Amino acid sequence: MSVYEAERNGILLTNDPAKIDLDAVCDLVERQYWGPSRVRRTTKAAFENSYSFVLLRGEELVGCIRVVTDFVTCAYIEDVIVDDSLRGQGVGQWMVREVMQCPDCAEQHRWLLMTVDAQSFYKKIGFHAPANPDWIMEYTQPYPTE
């Protein structure tokens, strides 16, 4: 995987591991309504084992996104966060599009994600309900608690 960076209005999107502060990412995740269900080591491991990006405004972490992928056939988007101060400015859509179009992901066949409340946001990017929802199955278990 190559380092990819893009800039928009003073906001840097980067997957450079040297610029990803996992403690700051954990802090950002913990502030989301779904964040407290994860312990920090789970979030750190998730970002370390995924194709992860952060949004930086100077040195300040203002967003993140990670992709679980084989880089060819299927990618799953997870942990999409944009700081409240940037919402409504198109930053989130820009971040998702940039990640989907970066050289390492540009040939991806299928992109998947799950969202409780952001369907209209993702529809603007081109996501839609699956054509065959009965093909999708899941198995879940609780996150570790310590």
pLDDT (tens digit per residue) in 83-134: 999 988 999 999 999 999 999 999 999 999 999 999 999 999 999 999 999 9
Helix (H, G, I), strand (E, B) or coil at 109: coil
Token pair of 36 as six digits:
């407290």
Q: Half-sphere exposure of residue 101, counting CA atoms within 13 Å on the CB side? A: 10
pTM score over 0.75: yes
The DSSP secondary-structure symbol of 39 reads -
Amino acid at 96: V
Distances (CA, A) of 21 to 27, 91, 127, 139: 10, 20, 29, 31
Distance CA 110, CA 96 (A): 14
